[in-house]
Structure 1
Amino acid sequence: MFTILTGAQFGDEGKGKIVDLMAENYDLVVRFQGGDNAGHTVKVADQVYKLHLIPSAFLLDSRVLIGPGTVLNPKVLLEEIDMLKKGGIEITPQKLGIDGKTSIIMPHHIELDTLRESAVSEKIGTTKRGIGFAYIDKISREEIQLFDIANEETFYSKLEDIREQKQKMLESYDNQDSKAFDVSVLDEYLAAGKVLSSYITDVSSEINDAIKKGKNVMAEGAQGSHLDVVHGTQKYVTSSSTIAGSACSNLGVGPTKVDEVIGIVKAYITRVGEGPLPTELHDDIGRKIQEQGGEFGTTTGRARRCGWFDLPLAKKAINLNGYSSLALTKLDVLTNIDPIKICVGYSFQGETYEYPPAKTSQLFECAPIYKELSGWDENLSNVNKYGDLPESAKKYVDLLENMMDVPIKYVSVGPGREQTFRKL
């Protein structure tokens, strides 16, 4: 079985905990795009693991892979491996494989990202980790790959081809003190490449062989559907394709091999950084959701903007990904909020719309049209089966399922593994 799992909103939907929950049934769990701008949190008992690159299933028997559609900061990956080792978890080459064609985030990418964001008047909200510039080099065929940092001769040969151009780009921002090409900095990359060379694999070959042998493979996405570089709320998007079809192209697996596509959606909506969020709440309820939901970024620590569930955006995510089922997370965060609202459409220039406009500038101007439901005040943290939810909570979940016309397979009422249960 080949399963693809993606976020259905703007990221931070709780993909990590759903992958962790499901991974015991999968032989391979694979990351297919993004970089260390994405973060996921996995909580088991009293242990909390906050990671950016290693796929969520590292705690289980699954082998985890990083595919060539990702961009990799090797120093961040080694820090994660070291952090887990100190916690008693060994991430060996038998546990983790990385495709040799994975693009490396270089020091000049990070410097350029920071300089550009500081220079423009209209901010995107980048994490300044070099993600976008690494993808630019991939598309322009000037990338440094994991293969390259594992070989000193190849590494310096490729650097010579791009060094002059990249230095001119840095100087164009009046940056005269760049350390990006210092020997001491580059030697760190070679040292990382030496360590990571034993992790190199052919991800496409591994996945296709596993599927052929009847094994189960899960492709884990980063960020969310509306941050997709093509179909998201441009220009306020990430630098990679975050939707399900991207898993096939980035991992080298034909689309006819996909058996299941699962979307992760919060019981409300959040967004980090700039860009439109039609249902954003600037009042006490928005602050309450933010506090009760712990809505602060794993990667940046930035407070997430919070709003009511947005059905038009959910419908678009369903179209973009072709979800066969959904997981609804953070239902517990809405406890003690009454009434609860669902955005069922938009008002724009005197017209009503049930689907988001294609132009981001128009989405900024859309006013939400709400349907209200009664809330609940029961504590959901000890609920472990759907039938034990309060009636108002079940009505909320059932209504979302009916309106989205996609079955909700899992419901989550807390950060722990035991706080997620099947609805179906």
Structure 2
Amino acid sequence: MTENGESKNDSATQNSCSKRRKISNNNVTVVLGAQWGDEGKGKVVDMLATEANFVCRCGGGNNAGHTVVAEGQEYDFHLLPSGIINKDCTSVIGNGVVIHLPGLFEEGEKAAKKGLENWRQRLRISDRAHLVFDLHQQLDGLQEKEKGKNSIGTTKKGIGPTYSSKASRSGLRVCDLVGNFETFSEKFKNLVRVSKRTFPDLDVNVEKELERYKDFAKQISPMVTDTIFLIHNAMESTAENTILVEGANATMLDIDFGTYPYVTSSNCSIGGVMTGLGIPACSIGEVYGVTKAYTTRVGDGAFPTELSNELGDTLQQRGREFGVTTKRKRRCGWMDTVLLTYTRMINGFTALAMTKLDILDVFEELKIGVSYQHNGKNLDSFPAHQDILKEVVVEYITMPGWKTCTEGIRSFDELPANAQAYIKKVEELIKCPIKWVGVGKSRESIITRF
């Protein structure tokens, strides 16, 4: 017995538990979109991945689009984690992701032709992740067509219908595919039957699809594992292991917190990290939000600070604002700190990365949205209803531009004084520090402040 009456076994157990908690605590870093997506998360993940052991996707599917420029080569990733470029870390597609296998292999081979080596050997896929079939993509298009003028502008990648199959317990997972193929075949046929009840015109060649997936099963098997145990074993084996989580889409597209119904079908805020990877909250340390120096969104839905004029056109053209996945023009507007404050509250951002500051180099003056008014009254919170959000009047402050090229600048102190003031004002308004500032496309064009 010890002096305080505990047995040695009890003491050893407590020491072991304490040590295990310490090892697994706070070694997970998360990168999330703080606006409506397309903020430049891939670039930030690529930068942080150089010091990570694991880079993980936790939700969404190939509706996401992350652009990374490394060593002069531009990559577009939709399912592959952006950290796949780092040859010294393991990339993980977690259980919360929905996977379109034809798209995954097409994306991997396209990246391989650009110089990405051995991506299959460095990728691990959760056996619990759900599969997106071509029939889901058909359903996506049919559902949008059925909604007519009330369509929400989905990417038609089958993400929503796949999550619907998951929720209705008719979906198929990776473990089904790499398990007994006869059982998989029966489940697939059942999925087709269930889907055709709602859309009888759905065109599926069942036998042809099953032949395709028999081949996919062989290709994917070496990559499949229980990613929950993989990540936890890494966290508990040594405190030096770092886990980087790459969020897809963005908080304003989150199915619970975003501008519903113009949202994606998953939780792409901080909660999705835990449910999409099986990581406990206590393991999450830094949570970095990514925002542009202005605001953009693709598709329909309310956009309070949108610029439907020449200024918006200038932002669109200078920023090359086209959706990586959809190729649609992005709508552009001024920085909205009401929105950023809202997403900071939800995610608990410890710091932000502000990208595309250089796009603002040509403006005489800049505006920042600081509050919303509706029916003559200031709103105390971010409105849930689209009708209200469409009607808000934004109160702005105006700041002078800098009319100087910032693309070659590599330290914060060298930025024009007005650019520094703009960044500091955004920090002040949203009560969150801006740790990085992007002034170009490449990894080297990110300024680290602290």
- Give the CA deviation at 1:70: 0.6
Equivalent positions of 1:75-90 (< 5 A) are 75-90=102-117
**Aligned with 2:231 (options 189, 207, 214):** 207
Is residue 78–residue 192 contact of structure 1 (8 Å, CA) maintained in 2? Answer: no
Query: Would the aligned equivalents of 1:81 and 1:90 in 2 still touch at CA under 8 Å?
Result: no
The answer on 1:67 being equivalent to 2:91 is no
Equivalent position of 2:199 in the other structure? 170
Structure 1 residues 179, 150: closer, same or farther in 2, change over 3 A?
A: farther
Alpha-carbon contact 1:243-1:321 (below 8 Å) kept? yes
Cα distance in 2, alignment partners of residues 180 and 186 from structure 1 = 11
Equivalences, count: 419
Query: Which residue is 2:186 aligned to?
Result: 157
CA RMSD after TM alignment: 1.2
CA distance in 2, matches of 1:237, 1:354: 23
**Is 1:395 matched with 2:424?**
no
Report if aligned partners of 1:54, 1:66 keep a CA contact under 8 Å in 2: yes
SS in 2 for 1:98: strand
- TM-score with structure 1 length normalisation? 0.96
Are 1:142 and 2:170 counterparts? Answer: yes
More deviation, 231-240/184-193: 184-193
Larger radius of gyration: 2
Residue 353 of structure 2 corresponds to 327
Does residue 1:190 correspond to 2:181, yes or no?
no
> Hey, what does 2:9 align to over in structure 1?
none
Can you list the C-alpha shifts for 1:130-174, whole angstroms capped at 9, x where unaligned? 100000111111111112222421211212333322122221xxx
Q: Which residue of 2 aligns with 1:227?
A: 253
Shift of 1:204: 1.2
1:194 alignment partner AA: K
Question: How far off is 1:405 after superposition?
Answer: 0.9
CA distance in 1, matches of 2:34, 2:105: 30
Q: By how many angstroms is 1:90 displaced?
A: 2.5
Q: Is the 8 A contact 1:315 1:355 kept in 2?
A: no
Give the 3-state SS of the residue equivalent to 1:279 in structure 2: coil
Note if contact 1:111-1:180 (Cα within 8 Å) is conserved in structure 2: no
1:405 to 419, 431, 442: 431
* Identity fraction in percent: 37
Matched letter for residue 146 of structure 1: V
CA shift, 1:408, in A, is 0.8
Question: Aligned runs of 1:360-399 on 2, under 5 Å?
Answer: 360-399=386-425
1:288 CA drift (Å):
0.3
Instruction: Answer yes or no: is the 8 Å Cα contact 1:74–1:193 preserved in 2.
Output: no
2:127 paired residue among 97, 100, 118 = 100
In the alignment, is the contact (CA less than 8 A) between 2:159 and 2:265 conserved in 1? Answer: yes
**Contact 1:16 / 1:41 at 8 angstroms: preserved in 2?**
yes
CA distance in 2 between counterparts of 1:92 and 1:223 reads 23
Q: Deviations over 1:177-233 (max 9, x none)?
A: x43243113321221122011100111111111221211001110011010001111
Q: Which residue of 1 aligns with 2:6?
A: none
The answer to whether the Cα contact below 8 Å between 1:344 and 1:354 also exists between their aligned partners in 2 is: no
Q: Secondary structure at the match of 1:25?
A: coil
Structure 1 unaligned spans of 5+: none
- In the alignment, structure 2 segments of 5+ residues that lack a partner are 1-26
Give the aligned partner of residue 125 of structure 1. 153
Cα separation, 1, equivalents of 2:228 and 2:195: 31
